């Protein structure tokens, strides 16, 4: 499934889309950035409530397919700028993290 297809399936808000055709192959949930770096799989969708600009750097290094800010969290201006700079797919949902993770799992089959 592509990031674009995931946006449609989960009705996500695209804050910044740099590579909508990127494949999503899994998911990871976490807010401790070093923990995410150590555990998140390449090409996964990363669900988090962290919204500072380090999120974009971690997404880039861990090579995730997209970041999904859950619980209605909005990216601050610095995160949005950095997502644009680093070409990170940055999405959002008003769903709580548990529900979003369930929907992601259903979407990916």
Partner 1 sequence: METIKLVYPVEGGDLIEAGEASSKMKLTLKKLGLPQDVIRRASICMYEGEINMVIHADGGEAQVEVDSDQITIRMMDSGPGIPDVDQAMQEGYSTADSTARELGFGAGMGLPNMKRYSDEMTIDTVVGTGTTVTVKIKIPQ
Which residues here bind partner 1, judged by CB under 8 A? 31-35, 37-38, 42, 50, 52-55, 57-58, 60-63, 78, 86
State which residue, 11 or 76, has the beta carbon closest to partner 1. Answer: 76
Q: How far is the CB of 33 from partner 1 (least distance, A)?
A: 4
Q: How far is the CB of 72 from partner 1 (least distance, A)?
A: 19
SS (H, E, C) the chain: CEHHHHHHHHCCEEEECCCCCCECCEEEECCCHHHHHHHCCCCEEEEECCCCCHHHHHHHHHCCCEEEECCCCCCCHHHHHHHHHHCCCEEECCCCHHHHHHHHHHHHC
Q: How far is the CB of 9 from partner 1 (least distance, A)?
A: 26
């Amino acid at each position: 499934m592509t990031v674009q297809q995931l946006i449609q399936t989960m009705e996500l808000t695209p804050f910044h889309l740099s590579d909508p055709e990127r494949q999503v192959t899994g998911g990871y949930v976490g807010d401790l950035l070093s923990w995410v770096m150590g555990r998140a799989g390449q090409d996964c969708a990363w669900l988090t409530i962290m919204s500072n600009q380090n999120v974009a750097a971690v997404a880039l290094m861990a090579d995730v397919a997209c970041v999904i800010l859950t619980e209605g969290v909005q990216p601050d201006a610095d995160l949005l700028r950095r997502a644009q700079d680093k070409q990170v797919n940055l999405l959002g949902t008003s769903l709580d993290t548990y529900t979003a993770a369930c929907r992601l799992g259903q979407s990916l089959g």
